[in-house]
Structure 1
Amino acid sequence: MYPHIKRLIQRPAGRMQAELTTLRLSLKLHEGDLIFQTSQSAQSQAIQLATHSPYSHCGMLLRQGGEWQVLEAVQPVSITPMEQWIARGKNQHFVVKRLRDADQVLTPTVVRRLRDAGRRYWGKPYDLYFGWSDERLYCSELVWKVYQEVTGRQIGQLQRLREFDLSHPAVQAKLRERYGRQLPLDELVISPVRMFESPELVEIR
């Protein structure tokens, strides 16, 4: 039996489905594509409620060792095999988007610079407090900053924390857990949904 087929058969059903999805998509993907999902993390519900969007996590696709990987801000910032990333999301649902003029902008040199810029953040801790410092990063902040640094594009509108819907009890509970009574309402934030809705991007999958 071919080794790659044997590996697929031995995987749990969910992981196997994610690997098959990655294989089917492989030829359509480009390095620098952005990928969005509904995370199943403890804070995902609060993010969805505050932003009025199901998309609570995102990353950037890179090719490494012949395999598709997702650059993402988890704990710590790292790259994750795409099939693992897909399997981790709710119902394995995800959306891939690409810069509208990627053919002109994302030249091999620029893609290499995206890769290098992302690599400089590897190992940085995850930012539970959603600050704008480069010392700690959350998912959409990482991708936004990498793209802005390399291409000059601002993918998604920056907002202040006060502009989000903070009224739901689940959101308020998470805010109290993180900040106590001192809410940084004027902190700059980029949310996954603002990137998802950016007119700079077009949907690939």
Structure 2
Amino acid sequence: MTTRTRWFLVAIITVPLAASATISRHSGNKPKSVAGLHNGDILFQTLEGGQSDAIAQATGSPWTHVGVVFKEDGEWMVYEAVGPVKATPLPRWIAQGSKGHFVAKRYVSGPNGPLAEEQARRVRSAMERFMGLAYDWRFDWSDERIYCSELVWKAYAEGIGIELCSPRPLRDHSLDSELVRRTMVERYGNAPPLDEPMIAPGVLFDCPLLITILER
């Protein structure tokens, strides 16, 4: 994959890292509308930035970032790949999204139930294996570096043997809009890696194995 190629993939599914909140993990400033969350729930949001419109048009989805939530020492933490892979306090994670909006989805392992604690522990252990790993600007399907939706997909696949959806080649995305084509030409010339498998946040969001349990 060429340098120009990796920048094209960044424009399509990476998360803008500019937005940030100054809420500390132990500030006591807890989110008010997260009742019902369970360990292992998957959180989606849109991050504001210059690439947001291109991301939405290319993937057909407004969702540009995703992570998995776990409770640690009484605080909800979102495991996410933003370079490096880290655990972010939920209030800070919410604040970085557009208008603080997010959706929580859940893989239902039993009759309308969340992951069993052992399942959640295994998903978390799988994510911890990637902690500190650099962001995957190449979007290679490897474990040397990793991006947000790849982290979530691999955590479930490796942790509990569940493939939430199938990786899709770049060519399956909507690449014909003026904005997306202009972004491609400006950054990567005319040779995007159309057959590179990838998992976009929007693909995870539409996974039929997940149900929506919270929207704020």
TM over 0.5: yes
1:71 is displaced (CA, Å) by 0.6
Determine whether 1:110 maps to 2:119. Answer: yes
Give the whole-Å Cα distance in 2 for the aligned partners of 1:36 and 1:110: 21
Sequence identity percentage: 43
Write the letter of the residue equivalent to 1:65: D
Q: Select the residue among 121, 126, 133 that pairs with 2:130.
A: 121
CA contact (8 A) 1:157 1:195 kept: no
Residue of structure 1 in register with 2:102 after alignment: 94
User: Is the helix fraction higher in 1 or 2?
Assistant: 1
Secondary structure of residue in 1 paired with 2:99? helix
Give the whole-Å Cα distance in 2 for the aligned partners of 1:165 and 1:189: 14
Give the whole-Å Cα distance in 2 for the aligned partners of 1:147 and 1:125: 20
Determine whether 1:80 maps to 2:88. Answer: yes
With CA pairs under 8 Å and 6+ residues apart, which has the higher RCO, 1 or 2? 2
Write the letter of the residue equivalent to 1:57: H
Residue of structure 2 in register with 1:132 after alignment: 141
Where does the alignment leave 5 or more consecutive residues of structure 1 unmatched? Answer: 1-12
CA RMSD, Structure 1 to Structure 2 (Å): 2.5
Where does the alignment leave 5 or more consecutive residues of structure 2 unmatched? Answer: 1-20
Give the whole-Å Cα distance in 2 for the aligned partners of 1:122 and 1:108: 21
Give the whole-Å Cα distance in 1 for the aligned partners of 2:138 and 2:41: 26
Higher mean C-alpha displacement, 153-162 vs 68-77: 153-162
Determine whether 1:182 maps to 2:191. Answer: yes
1:162 is displaced (CA, Å) by 0.7
Determine whether 1:63 maps to 2:97. Answer: no
1:58 is displaced (CA, Å) by 0.6
Residue of structure 1 in register with 2:15 after alignment: none
Determine whether 1:148 maps to 2:157. Answer: yes
Change in 2 beyond 3 A, CA 1:14/1:50: same
Give the whole-Å Cα distance in 2 for the aligned partners of 1:69 and 1:166: 34
Determine whether 1:39 maps to 2:25. Answer: no
Task: Figure out how many residues of one structure are paired with residues of the other and give that number.
Answer: 190
Relative to the length of structure 2, the TM-score reads 0.78
Residue of structure 2 in register with 1:163 after alignment: 172
Give the whole-Å Cα distance in 1 for the aligned partners of 2:174 and 2:131: 31
Give the whole-Å Cα distance in 1 for the aligned partners of 2:29 and 2:45: 14
Relative to the length of structure 1, the TM-score reads 0.82
Residue of structure 2 in register with 1:5 after alignment: none
